[in-house]
Structure 1
Amino acid sequence: MSTPPPTTAPTTTTSGALSPEEAESLKQRLSAIRKDEPFDLVLSGSPEHLEALRQAHTHHESRREALRERHGSAYDEFESVRSELDALGSELHMLTDHSVSLDANFSKYGYSAHLRTYDDTSGGSSETSSPTVRQYFHKGLLWRASENTDVASFELFVDLLYVGIIAINGDHAAESPTGYELLRFSITFIMSWKIWSDLALIISWFETDDIMQRLFVLFVMSCLLGLTTNMLDFFNHTYSPLVSFYLAARLFMATYYFFLSFIIPMVRGMMYLNVLMTLIPAALWISSTHIPMPLRLAPIWIALALDLVGLVSASLLMRSKRAFPRSVEAWIDRAFEFIPALNIEHKVERINAFVTLVFGYSVVAIIYQSAAPFGLNAYYGKAALGLIQAFCFNWIYFELDGADLFAHAIRRSAGACEFSSSIPLADWPGYPPSSRIVHVLTREAMLWTTAHLPFIMSFVLGAAALSKLVIAHDCQDAEVGYLTEAYMAKSEGEIPIGLRWFYCAGLGIALLCMAIISLSHIHKDGPRGMRIRKKHRMANRFCVCVILLCLPTAHGLNSLHLIAIVTGLVVWVLLLELWGCSCPGESFFGEKRRCAYTATARCREGARR
């Protein structure tokens, strides 16, 4: 019996690096050690790493077959023992290791070579527990707890309060569509949004899950309730109570940050920075209560700008640390060595939940009560068209713009990981090795984060105006007597120009912001490409936005005409997106031929094909 010669090992050595920063230093070391030996350097978890592992696996399978033919029964007995040990080891691993696989995360939001997991052994009780950092950024890597970060039930309870905030703010804006009302709506909505985003940030950063955390959330909700009850008389008598409740929530969260700086000293620098960026706008808010209108607007908008983008400015300042003396630069490195980071799943789910509330408000707003003996009239037609609008917006946002992503906006570009507006990012290969940590948001992450606020505000404004247009009796087959008494009092025979602008411009700006959000992502392409490229589909959206912004100037359009035109434009955007995202040669309404697939298979010699 002839024995086949043993296979030789691959001549090229493949080495893996845990991060792009380590890849550069490892490449230099290997070049010095193995001057005459070729080697490949890949990032751990990258497609190149996967291909190298497959090649090595194939090589060692051939070696195993050679050993089997050489040693016979002894090899089979050894393999039997080894397989039993592997089975026992796998079962032990399942029972003892609680780390979560990142495959689903990478598949949904894109691959990141900077992401690592660690086991959280805090194990806090439901009564009291010490806060721990869920995930943090350290020396270019994002370390996150291996457990899943699910949305807690009390977070959804907070959203219930925002159902009332959206309804009260939007309905009042539509009742008197003027510039002053738009100003009041914008300021009060941003204030309530800031409290919501800060609360979501704290819950995402720190893990407690005890009674104290729920009491903390309850106090913030109480402040938010007080802010809501003082929104409508903003320009007259309730400004001081409004600011008082807002500052109570903000300063309470700043106190919590200060408390955490002692409980969790590893993130003390970031906690101090959050406290500072809360106190500076607070001074402006307090001073605004002593200034009459309209001079009061100056400190208000400055304070709002600092509340929204203050931490981004601090992040940009940290990026320029090399401009400071070495002692200051060293202090910054020590103070911000560990920085808490957002969890991308939690952030996206919280934003999606809030957007769902907004879409839900647009559906509730179009509901009216009919007193007509035959319900199919202009009122019903306008309400049905409004429902189609909301359905199309929901379809575009969740199933077209937010699905099938190759890389989420938060995970795009310069080493993007899950960061809040104050989180630094690390470099990818190709950047100077000296700039190991870049304290700046990626452009795409900033677009995704900032575009949601004007998107939500404008859509709420458009939905509120739609509720007034639905019950307007300015068109045929829309007699005021077809409505119940409560809606008869709200019905108008002529559409105010402000209401036209709120409706058309609101939905137009919302569609524009959705296009910006979509552009911040990288979407997957089909195996055969797409019928219409993404940039061309977005150009179509921008053109529709321009039409919507110009539509209020057509004063001859009644409410039915206005709603019908807007609905037609939104449906056109949806149909073009669906058609453009499909693969060339495929039927738009179903398969014309039998299903087939393409696969690559490896067959042994002599096997049947």
Structure 2
Amino acid sequence: MAENADAQPENTDAQPSLTQPLTQTSTSGPKKRALFRQPLALQWFENGVLKKLSNEERQAGRFELFLDLLYVAILASFADGLAEHPSGVQVVKYILILSPSWHIWSDLRELMNSFYNDDLGQRILILWIMAVLVVYGNNAVLVDEDLTAMRATVGAYMTARLSANTAHLVYSFSSYHHRAQQRLWFVCSFFALLLYIPLYMESLSLRSKIAVAAVGIIVEEILWVFCYSPIAKRITRSKYTTAADIGHEIDRFAAFYIIVLGEFLYAIIVGHPAASGFNVRLLRAIWTLIIAFCFNWLYVHNDGSLQFEHAIRHSIITAFTWVMMHLPLVASMLVGGHVAAASTKTEELEGAELWLLCGGLGIGILCLYVIAMLHRSDDPPGTLMLPKHLRLIMRPVIGIIIICLPLSPHLGATAFLSIIMALVVFCVVYENITSLQCGAKFWESWENTGYPDDYRLTDTKC
């Protein structure tokens, strides 16, 4: 996982003059097309001043979104395995195989955020890592059963990460703007990958391999934070340091989150599990749709402020936290959504499945609470009906209630989904009402609906 959370010095609201787009122009006309283009940093800090190669607004690339489709399919496969065999051991396995795959996805996201030029080289790199992810996704679910699958999974992970990090190393020769941190990251991540070598050994017990994998994941997270933190910048004494395209970054996470929520909807349609006619399974399918819709609503709503500073722009700490919170958010939403959708195919849910359903959706709404709290509200006091903390208070309350619902075993699957749906809908309605400006009307009067006085109908001849 490699994300540039260096947005704090940007401070575009306070000092707009610090941002200096450097749009490349040429008196001889546009550059000729090339299969392989020179990778250039799209944005960077120069002595703490944010500069950009171009002031054009960026959007998520089509091949980036294509990667998201495969990655979400892999995560859905992991969630499906957990839902089929729910247990504490399987939850640990789910976390340990999902986290490394998130690192792979984040490596490419980081690379494209800083150096995207959509040339042949980058498209081949994306295709190559997607092919390696196919190997990873097909073997990771069997790591606790087959040594060959374990070795294939670890090998695919190391290959994918090394490929992306080698691209960083190569790009450090083509552009000097991120050079110091790119090379520092390459060295640190290379040695971190060596921690996974014991997983190839047949003599090592499964319990020991679990410990090795957990240590490796934690070490990689710590190294990522270190390499892209102000500490690394001070150590390397770099004049040029990394910066993120914040708009592109927000867009990438939002698009990915929507695709994750799409897994809720896929399972309630494919195979027509709620047929035929009106029945209880159809009701569960509709409740699942409403829950997914509301979770998307809460993500888009953020903290409901009229004026706010995004977490990535707010500070280094909030930027790192915002990025890292998306991993538990995605992991929990996939599990909870998968069980919710699967309820349309069965009469009742077992105890362990209920804990996955309620735990996944409850943790998901708690993650949305933390993410919303990371933004800084700039609304003057008294602008909205309630201050930020009171507007968002229902998220942790409802999240805890949902997590504790399985303590009432007498409830059936339909009752569980109905209660969850009602709680989430209540949260959405509560936040939208309390986010209105003081004195706002619930219904806006319709004005200027008539044609203007100078409007005339003119005859037209065919």
Question: What TM-score, normalized to structure 1?
Answer: 0.66
Contact 1:462 1:504 in 2 (8 A): yes
**Residue 117 of structure 1 aligns to which amino acid in structure 2?**
P
Structure 2 residue corresponding to 1:449, chosen from 306, 311, 323: 323
Contact 2:274 2:281 in 1 (8 A): no
Please tell me whether residue 133 in structure 1 is matched to residue 24 in structure 2.
no
Please tell me whether residue 154 in structure 1 is matched to residue 63 in structure 2.
yes
Structure 2 residue corresponding to 1:195, chosen from 77, 96, 104: 104
Contact 2:303 2:392 in 1 (8 A): no
Structure 1 residue corresponding to 2:267, chosen from 345, 359, 365: 365
CA shift in 2, pair 1:226/1:385, >3 Å: same
CA shift in 2, pair 1:349/1:280, >3 Å: same
Give 1:302's aligned residue. 215
Q: Structure 1 stretches of 5 or more lacking a match?
A: 1-19, 22-42, 47-110, 322-328, 414-441, 475-494, 596-609
Give 1:208's aligned residue. 117
SS at match of 2:241: strand
**Residue 394 of structure 2 aligns to which amino acid in structure 1?**
N
Q: CA separation in 2, counterparts of 1:249 and 1:258? A: 14
Give 1:385's aligned residue. 287
CA shift in 2, pair 1:124/1:400, >3 Å: farther
Q: CA separation in 2, counterparts of 1:282 and 1:360? A: 33
CA shift in 2, pair 1:593/1:254, >3 Å: closer
CA shift in 2, pair 1:116/1:547, >3 Å: same
Contact 1:285 1:299 in 2 (8 A): yes
Give 1:540's aligned residue. 394
**Residue 513 of structure 1 aligns to which amino acid in structure 2?**
C
Q: CA separation in 2, counterparts of 1:389 and 1:539? A: 19
CA shift in 2, pair 1:188/1:116, >3 Å: same
Give 1:464's aligned residue. 338
1:402 Cα offset (Å): 8.0
Contact 2:225 2:320 in 1 (8 A): no
Query: Any idea what the Cα deviations from partners look like across 1:326-356, whole Å, max 9, x if unmatched?
Result: xxx6xx21xx221232101111111111101
Structure 2 residue corresponding to 1:354, chosen from 256, 269, 283: 256
1:280 Cα offset (Å): 2.1
Q: CA separation in 2, counterparts of 1:220 and 1:251? A: 10
Structure 1 residue corresponding to 2:167, chosen from 249, 256, 274: 256
1:151 Cα offset (Å): 2.0
Query: Any idea what the Cα deviations from partners look like across 1:157-208, whole Å, max 9, x if unmatched?
Result: 1122124213312222111111122122212211221111110111111143
Give 2:87's aligned residue. 178
Contact 1:277 1:306 in 2 (8 A): no
| 1:291-330 equivalence runs, <5 A | 291-315=204-228, 318=231
Give 1:342's aligned residue. 244
Please tell me whether residue 117 in structure 1 is matched to residue 21 in structure 2.
yes
1:219 Cα offset (Å): 1.1
1:592 Cα offset (Å): 5.7
Give 1:504's aligned residue. 358
In the comparison of the two structures, how many residue pairs are matched? 430
Structure 1 residue corresponding to 2:182, chosen from 253, 259, 271: 271
Give 2:438's aligned residue. 584
Contact 2:305 2:435 in 1 (8 A): no
Give 1:235's aligned residue. 144
SS at match of 1:339: strand
1:116 Cα offset (Å): 2.1
CA shift in 2, pair 1:121/1:190, >3 Å: farther
**Residue 264 of structure 1 aligns to which amino acid in structure 2?**
S
SS at match of 2:386: coil
**Residue 144 of structure 1 aligns to which amino acid in structure 2?**
K
Give 1:142's aligned residue. 50
CA shift in 2, pair 1:401/1:535, >3 Å: closer
Please tell me whether residue 530 in structure 1 is matched to residue 376 in structure 2.
no
Query: Any idea what the Cα deviations from partners look like across 1:393-417, whole Å, max 9, x if unmatched?
Result: 111111444885521111114xxxx
Contact 2:274 2:282 in 1 (8 A): no
Give 2:191's aligned residue. 280
Runs of 4+ in 1 over 3 A off after TM superposition: 43-46, 111-114, 121-124, 314-317, 370-373, 399-405, 523-528, 592-595
1:372 Cα offset (Å): 6.1
**Residue 351 of structure 2 aligns to which amino acid in structure 1?**
I
**Residue 169 of structure 1 aligns to which amino acid in structure 2?**
F
SS at match of 2:327: helix
| 1:383-532 equivalence runs, <5 A | 383-401=285-303, 404-413=306-315, 442-474=316-348, 495-523=349-377, 525=379, 529-532=383-386
Q: CA separation in 2, counterparts of 1:371 and 1:349? A: 34
CA shift in 2, pair 1:298/1:270, >3 Å: same
Q: CA separation in 2, counterparts of 1:319 and 1:248? A: 26
1:269 Cα offset (Å): 1.4
Q: CA separation in 2, counterparts of 1:411 and 1:127? A: 35
1:257 Cα offset (Å): 2.2
Query: Any idea what the Cα deviations from partners look like across 1:367-395, whole Å, max 9, x if unmatched?
Result: 3526866x111111111111111111111
Which protein, 1 or 2, shows the higher relative CO under an 8 Å CA cutoff with sep ≥ 6?
A: 2
Q: CA separation in 2, counterparts of 1:124 and 1:180? A: 56
**Residue 111 of structure 2 aligns to which amino acid in structure 1?**
I
| Larger-gyration structure (1/2) | 1
1:537 Cα offset (Å): 2.1
SS at match of 2:97: helix
1:262 Cα offset (Å): 2.6
Q: CA separation in 2, counterparts of 1:44 and 1:163? A: 34
SS at match of 2:393: helix
Please tell me whether residue 553 in structure 1 is matched to residue 407 in structure 2.
yes
Q: CA separation in 1, counterparts of 2:325 and 2:197? A: 28
Q: CA separation in 1, counterparts of 2:407 and 2:290? A: 24
